[in-house]
Chains A and B, each alone.
Chain A
Amino acid sequence: MRDILKMIIVLTIIGAVSGLALSLVYEGTKAPIEYQTIKFVKEPAVKKVLTGYDNDPIADRKKIRIGEDERGTPIELIIFPAKKAGATFAVALEGKGKGFGGLIGVMVGVSKKGTVLDIGITSHSETPGIGARVSETFFTERFKGLTTDREVTVDGISGATYSSKGVMSAVTQALGYVTTFSKEIF
């Protein structure tokens, strides 16, 4: 009995101390990790979907509140504005859609009029060679010119229906944000 008690106590203490240490490290690295993911994952996509701006969309990024989860923590969306002579004429923002292997993150460039300029895939876990082809240009350019007032539909890639639909729903989500929060975004 004493042995069992000792085992339980020791394991609990080790687990608790580890958990505490990890939560401290997590808090400490949260900001640099966010910066790194923006720099290495979002920046190439933002640069791809926006053109003709004279500001730095990464430095000028702003966060808008799009709701809150069940615990009351605000859910934030990062907006990358493209400005010319100080006026925002387009923004890039990320939408997520369920693909074949999980969520697909899509950066969507939208003009002030609500037209899709271009899209870029930021993260996905689709099958290499099949679903992963959604990140190739021949597919992403099919989204150019879609508008916020119509349903997002393009020809999917044969053999990669789920992945194609995932990208479409991600774009739909991003455009939905633009419509709902247009005042905050532009």
Chain B
Amino acid sequence: MSITDEFTKGLWQTIPPFRLVLGLCPTLAVTTSGINGMGMGLATTFVLVFSNLFVSLLRRFIPSQVRIASFIVIIASFVVIVELVMQAYFYPLFKILGIFIPLIVVNCIILGRAEAFASKQNPLASLADGLGIGLGFTISLFVLGCIRELLGSGTLLEIPVMWSSFEPFTFMLKPPGAFVALGILLATMNLISQVQARKGGGR
């Protein structure tokens, strides 16, 4: 696969958390608004890109028996960097995302990419993979956040957009609402894929 393919596969083919059903915990927990979803997505992308790069650079140097421990140390370091930088420059967002920032350490997407991809591929491909998967995750969280925000509080990016008599479905902001929104999105994506496959002659 070329570098561009490595990058674009994360945006549709293996877009997390829909295709790559990993990292559901932050997906369900923080997507109460578009901004929150995007913040979480970008923080994860940063960690993913740099952990992929470093895991790939060090892949010949790390003995396979301690690879998981090494990956976790690398990932955890970048998570702490994100946490500190966010606290220093985006304090309100840091407050909202709270515990889910340190929990990026145990996000399966990141360890999954390190183990399944970056530890076997060259740094450039790993960088493209990390960026693609990360942006895919950001887009998913942003879209999910926007849907929940629109239905749950009647705003889009904190700007009221619904008509005045609109009664917000507060249910959408609660955890069960996250499952429902995620399910509907997943179903829509499967539908699009099916239609595409039929058009393309049953690929």
Residues of A within 8 A of B (CB): 3, 6-7, 10-11, 14-15, 18, 21-22, 25-26, 29, 32-33, 36-37, 39-40
Query: In the assembled complex, how far is the CB of residue B11 from the closest CB belonging to chain A, in whole angstroms?
Result: 30
CA distance A29 to B84 in the complex (A): 7
* CB-CB nearest in chain B for A6: B63
B89-97, B127-135, B142-150: which lies at the A interface? B89-97
* CB-CB nearest in chain B for A32: B88
A-B pairs with beta carbons under 8 Å apart, 17 shown? A7-B63, A10-B62, A10-B70, A11-B73, A14-B58, A18-B73, A18-B77, A21-B77, A22-B81, A25-B81, A25-B84, A29-B88, A32-B89, A36-B88, A36-B89, A36-B91, A40-B91
Chain B residues near A36 (CB, 8 Å)?
87-89, 91
Chain A residues near B76 (CB, 8 Å)?
18
Cβ-based interface call for B80 (8 A): yes
* CB-CB nearest in chain B for A40: B91
Is A18 touching B74 in the complex (CB atoms < 8 A)?
Answer: yes
Question: Per-position contact with A for B92-114: 1 when CB-CB < 8 Å, else 0?
Answer: 10010000000000000000000
Interface size on B, residues (CB 8 A): 22
Given the known inter-chain contacts A10-B70, A14-B70, A18-B74, please indicate yes or no for A33 contacting B65, CB distance below 8 A.
no
Is B69 touching A11 in the complex (CB atoms < 8 A)?
Answer: yes
Is B81 touching A33 in the complex (CB atoms < 8 A)?
Answer: no
Chain A residues near B69 (CB, 8 Å)?
11
Query: In the assembled complex, how far is the CB of residue B115 from the closest CB belonging to chain A, in whole angstroms?
Result: 16
* CB-CB nearest in chain A for B69: A11
CA distance A10 to B64 in the complex (A): 11
Query: In the assembled complex, how far is the CB of residue A17 from the closest CB belonging to chain B, in whole angstroms?
Result: 8
CA distance A18 to B105 in the complex (A): 14
* CB-CB nearest in chain A for B84: A29
Is B80 touching A7 in the complex (CB atoms < 8 A)?
Answer: no
Query: In the assembled complex, how far is the CB of residue B61 from the closest CB belonging to chain A, in whole angstroms?
Result: 6
Chain A residues near B62 (CB, 8 Å)?
10, 14
Question: Per-position contact with A for B49-71: 1 when CB-CB < 8 Å, else 0?
Answer: 00000000010011101100110
Q: Which of B65, B66, B69, B87 has the most CB of A within 10 A?
A: B66
Is A3 touching B65 in the complex (CB atoms < 8 A)?
Answer: yes
Given the known inter-chain contacts A10-B70, A11-B70, please indicate yes or no for A37 contacting B91, CB distance below 8 A.
yes
CA distance A18 to B85 in the complex (A): 16
Chain B residues near A21 (CB, 8 Å)?
77, 81
Query: In the assembled complex, how far is the CB of residue A39 from the closest CB belonging to chain B, in whole angstroms?
Result: 7
